[in-house]
Amino acid sequence: MTDKKLLAQQFEQYFDVMADCFVHAPGRVNLIGEHTDYNGGFVLPAAINFGTDIVAKAREDRQVNVVALDYAQQQASFSLDDIQHDHAMGWSNYIRGVLLILQKHFPLSKGADLVVTGNVPQGAGLSSSASFEIAILKCFAELNQLPLDGIQAALLGQQAENEFVGCSCGIMDQLISAMGHKDQAMLLDCRSLQVEFTPIPPQHSLMIINSNVKRGLVDSEYNLRRQQCEQAAKVMQVELLRDADMNMLVQHKSSLSREAYLRARHVISENDRTVAMFEALKHADMPRISELMRQSHLSMQEDFAITVKPIDILVDIIHAELGERGGVRMTGGGFGGCVIALVPDDLVESIQATIEQQYQSQTGIKESVFICTAEQGAFA
C-alpha cells in the first residue's frame, strides 16, 4: 500500500487544500477456477497486497478533477452532469463509467478532487481495472455517505466496465476487490454471488510470477471460448455449463464439435476442482492442493488451449521443485500473463533462485516475481 502521508502531500501540492478521504482497493489473484465465471460456476480468488490508492476531497460543485500519478497524460476533468467517453485518456473512462452508473442508483450531491495511484502490474492479469473501479466507488460512497455495500459495488463496477469501458468481464475481479478477507481465499458462486472464505494455509506465501509474455489474442480467443461453451450448453440443453456434469457431456459427445467438447470438459472439471480446492485449503491438505492445481493447469493447456509455451515451462520449473508441498498453475485469461504458486515460506528463496536460473535461459524472457499476502477488500 502506498505511503498515505506522501500521497496526502502530493494531493496538497496539486489542489492547494488538504485531503480528507483515503481509500484502498486491492487487486487479486485467482487460485483456481479459470473461465468458469461466465459459465455460472465457481472461482477461488484472494485479494492481494497490490492495489489502487486514492486521496480525495469533496467539492461544493459537481466537477470531478483527477490526477493520475501513474500516467503521462495524468489530469482529467469533467462534470457529473456531462460524462462522455474520452478517447485520448483511456484510463479516465474507468472513473467516468463508474460515476455514470453510480448516479443511476444513488444521487451524488458533490464532485471531488482526487489523486490516484496504483501498484498492480498492468497487463499481467491481476485485475488493475477492477481495483481502480472499486476504489472509485469506495471513495465516492465515503464522500457522499452512500449506503453502498460490497456486492452492490462489485455489480456497479462490472456494469461500468461492460457498458462504458467496453470490456466483457465477469463479476469475480470486482467482488474480491470489494469483499476479500485478510489471509483468506474466497469461494465465489458466480451465479448466486454467495461467498465463503477459507484460510490460506499458514506459513505459505502466494508467489505470483509474471511470465512477461505479452497477452496477445486475449479478446478474440476469449470471445471464441465463450461461444464454444455456450454452444456446448445449448447441445446439452442446459442454461449454463454449471448445470452439466461429465456423464451428460459424454452422452452428448457425438453431437459436439471436438473443440466444444474439450472446452466443456475443462469447465465442468474445473468447477469440480475449485470446490475440491476450497475443502483442501480448509484442511491445509498440501498434496491434494498440489494435485488440483496441476490438473487445472493441464486442463487449461490441453482442453481449453489457453496456455503458451513459456507459461508451461515456468509452471513445470516450479512444479518440479515444489512437488507435493505446494501448488502451481497459470492464472488469468490465458495467452501469457501470470503463474500463481502456493509456496511454503521455507521454499520461497530456493524457488525464486531456480526460476532465475532456468526460465530466462529456456525462453529468452525475464520474469518478474511478486511475493504476496491475502488482504482485506475495500468494503469488507
What is the Cα–Cα distance from 164 to 93, expressed in whole angstroms?
7
Specify whether 173 is catalytic.
yes
Asked whether the beta carbons of 280 and 293 are under 8 A apart, the reply is no
Asked whether the beta carbons of 120 and 27 are under 8 A apart, the reply is yes
- Put the strands of the sheet holding 195-199 in their side by side order: 42-43, 184-189, 195-199
Q: Which of 366, 307, 365, 361 is nearest to 339 (CA)?
A: 307
Catalytic residue among 53, 113, 173, 303: 173
Burial 332-352 (b: 16+ CB within 10 A, else e): bbbbbbbbbbbbeeebbeebb
Taking the alpha carbons at both ends of the chain, their separation in whole angstroms is: 17
DSSP at 147: -
- Extract the C-alpha cell encoding 121: 502490474
- Extract the C-alpha cell encoding 72: 503521462
What is the Cα–Cα distance from 249 to 133, expressed in whole angstroms?
38
Q: Which residues are catalytic?
A: 173
